[in-house]
Structure 1
């Protein structure tokens, strides 16, 4: 399944931990946004890891993208990386 994951986390330490979790599953597209191509099991693992590190007030949103939606993605300006990023 293809997912878009966004997050809004104010604590730098927690934000970095969430970034590293998401980076292990997919591509960093832009600040606080990832695109992932993962299985159902990987999604459950990822969600559990994120839940274990975030605090009240933190926000993580997960959007499941259908094939039609993926095909309709439009990028304006500099293209996002298509492969996994190892850069923080």
Structure 2
């Protein structure tokens, strides 16, 4: 049986592979472009989600810069996973 953190750790590794990072060098935060790449959406879609509150995908904003923590992204993806486990 998997613990609650195992799927998140696996998703973080998948995100790293998707973006071309070696397992030991997965960044803590990624920008909008890379987040959109991971999710298979456009950057404008992420902007829309943030401004409308459509999805509660956590982000960090400093001035004009928007960043997403890879662990937050992995948790968000894990919560949305559909289908039977097992």
What TM-score do the two structures reach when normalised by structure 2? 0.30
Structure showing the higher strand proportion among its residues: 1
What TM-score do the two structures reach when normalised by structure 1? 0.30
